[in-house]
Amino acid sequence: MKTDADAIIVGAGPAGSAVAHYLAKEGFSVIALEKARFPRDKVCGDGLTPRAVRELSLMGVATPESEGWVRNKGLRIIGGGHRLEFPWIESASFPGYGLTLPRAQFDHVLARHARATGADVREGVAVEGLLHDERTGRAVGVTARQTDAKGRKIGDVVTYSAPLVIAADGVSSRIATSAGIERKKGRPMGVAVRTYFRVDRPRDEWMEGHLELWSGEAGKSKLLPGYGWIFTVADGLVNVGLGTLSGRGKPLGLDHRAMLEEFIKNTAGEWGFVEEARAGETLGAAIPMGFSRQPHYRDGLMLVGDSGGMVNPFNGEGIAYAMQAARRATEAAVGAREATSDRDRERALAGYPRHMKSDLGGYYSLGRVFAALIERPSVMRACTKYGLPRPTIMWITHKLLSDVYEPHGGDWADRILATMARVAPKA
């Protein structure tokens, strides 16, 4: 079996499969190594904003309803005694709808798409370590072993070689850590938990967000830090979950599973949640945000997606930015291939983190300020009580939190947000 390529990708989730697709499309030989076997589940990720839908379109991924894709109209926000709906608005940059698809299917779709483009995506291969050139210190490959159906490592260690290694191995990113690229202290950290229920009600066309989480019998005794969500992922199947946010990345010491059960109990009457209709176990995960691991490129190693903390601090979305990073990483790789000297090649690869900071650095800096504020329940309560009734404030807030403002042109809200992101520090 071939073990050398132009690029070795560690992980074949949305980030890994997207960069495998783009590199293969540009004529690179690509081997992507995924420790699990598809289909496999992941926490959250079922709901896709118009930004993620745009990235799927750029990749050429078809999203027909006949294959399980469900469209939604926009966001329904509940909080402070208010219930408001904010539709996705079609614009020059974004479609006027979002999508949902169970994460187990979504990742499999992207992996198949990468294969169809020409990438060699290998399942059941666990990467163990990063290899470096003894003379230059550059990343030149990885070592890996096969895994069995239960995920246990079997067989001999195999060396995979390439002049470019791409870490797309998620939030923990053993590859980045082994290269000495640690998480930056003080960056936002989210925690998300979710489960599924089968419900006997028509498909809901809105993604529902609850800005207040209450504990207690009547749902009005204690305000908890965080927000909840409920949305349809298939006929009769809904994703219900919640997330909390620490602006400085410090653990909040909360029992998230207990919080989720409280949230389910307080929304059961309207949605029809009963224990017998639970359709999956409760899963949770930590989510480093706001470029929490840097640099995104160093000495032949690129970080793409969650491995580089490329998660939006405003809403916890990571898939759209993983696919965007895949495009940028490929542009850098193409530039390096066209370079005529080692110096120019390295300069081209180093352009990848610069472009990512130019694209998202200012917006993520605004998100870090937002995270530091709303982790306090009193601030969230004030925002929902006094902000939700004001259409102008909520219109601009909707665009900011979902990141669907036009970077160039658009309406007055787009211009304000684009200016804010442009002048904010790109750290």
Residue with tokens 């329904």: 76
Domain span holding position 329: 7-72+100-185+289-369
Assess if residue 224 is contained within a domain: no
Number of helices (H), then strands (E), in the chain: 11, 21
What is the distance, to the nearest Å, from the Cα of residue 190 to the centroid of all Cα atoms in its chain?
12
Q: Quick check: is 202 in a domain?
A: no
In this prediction, residue 176 carries a pLDDT of 96
Q: Is residue 191 part of a domain?
A: no
CATH number of the structural domain spanning residue 54: 3.50.50.60
Q: What is the Cα–Cα distance from 307 to 353, expressed in whole angstroms?
A: 13
Whether 56 contacts 364, CB under 8 Å = no
Total number of domains constituting the chain: 1
Say if residues 128 and 143 touch (Cβ distance below 8 Å).
yes
The dihedral formed by the CA atoms of 341, 342, 346 and 349, expressed in degrees to the nearest 10: 70
- Looking at residue 173, what is its pLDDT? 94
CB 289 within 8 A of CB 316: yes
Amino acid at 385: K
Low pLDDT (below 70) residues in the chain? 216-221
In a domain, 345, yes or no: yes
Q: What is the reported pLDDT for 221?
A: 63
Q: Is 161 within a domain?
A: yes
Give Cα 322 distance to the centre of its chain.
6
Using CB atoms within 10 A of its CB, is residue 391 exposed (0-12), middle (13-18) or buried (19+)?
exposed
Q: Check residue 216 and give its pLDDT.
A: 64
| Domain presence at residue 398 | no
Pick the closest to residue 333 from 355, 353, 354, 348 (CA basis).
348
Task: Determine the pLDDT at residue 219.
Answer: 47
Q: Which of 190, 202, 227, 229 is nearest to 212 (CA)?
A: 227
Q: What is the pLDDT of residue 9?
A: 98
**230 in any annotated domain:** no
What Rg value do the Cα atoms of the chain yield, rounded?
21
Residue 383 lies in a domain: no
Main-chain dihedrals φ then ψ at residue 235, nearest 5 degrees:
-55, 120
pLDDT one-digit tens code per residue, 33-45: 999 999 988 877 7
